[in-house]
Amino acid sequence: RAIVSSGSVASHPILYCQLCRYLSSRIDSSNQKISNALYSLLSEFLVPSLSLFPNNPNISSELWKNVLCKLPYPVRYSLYQAAWKQGGQEKAALRGGKTTKALPNIQSEIQTGLSTRYLLKRMSK
């Protein structure tokens, strides 16, 4: 949890990919259940930290092809829900007083919003 809240994983994409590949070898696609430790690692580290990386499609495809596609649909859905259920968006999360998101996550959301607005302005011209 400390690694996710510090945001330091964003500067080590190779480590992230190696973790995905390691988990790929540990997940049996025919088995419908995954261990609690594996679910915890996915829900608290790998899936939430995906949003910390700058636009790098290889990182997301690494997570999808090696790990998430091997999981049954209900498990995947619960992972997505756990990762992005942390209330508040951008500035609203900071104004609320008690922040539930880590600062790098908020920073990533703000940067994504700014980039999206910039691209939409360019497309509308």
Same domain, 94 and 59: no
Answer yes or no: do 80 and 96 share one domain.
Answer: no
Q: What is the reported pLDDT for 93? A: 52
Per-residue pLDDT of the chain in tens (125 residues, 90 and over written 9): 555 555 567 678 888 888 889 888 888 755 667 788 888 888 878 887 777 777 778 888 988 888 888 888 888 888 877 666 655 555 555 566 555 666 666 677 777 778 888 888 888 87
Residue type, 125: K
Task: Mark whether 72 and 21 lie in a shared domain.
Answer: yes
92 lies in which domain range?
88-125
Report the domain count for the chain.
2
119 and 63 in one domain?
Answer: no
Tell whether pTM > 0.85: no
Q: Contacts for 8-17 with beta carbons within 8 Å, 24 or more apart?
A: 9/45, 9/49, 9/52, 10/49, 10/52, 10/53, 10/54, 10/104, 13/53, 13/56, 13/58, 13/59, 16/46, 16/49, 16/53, 16/59, 16/62, 17/58, 17/59, 17/62
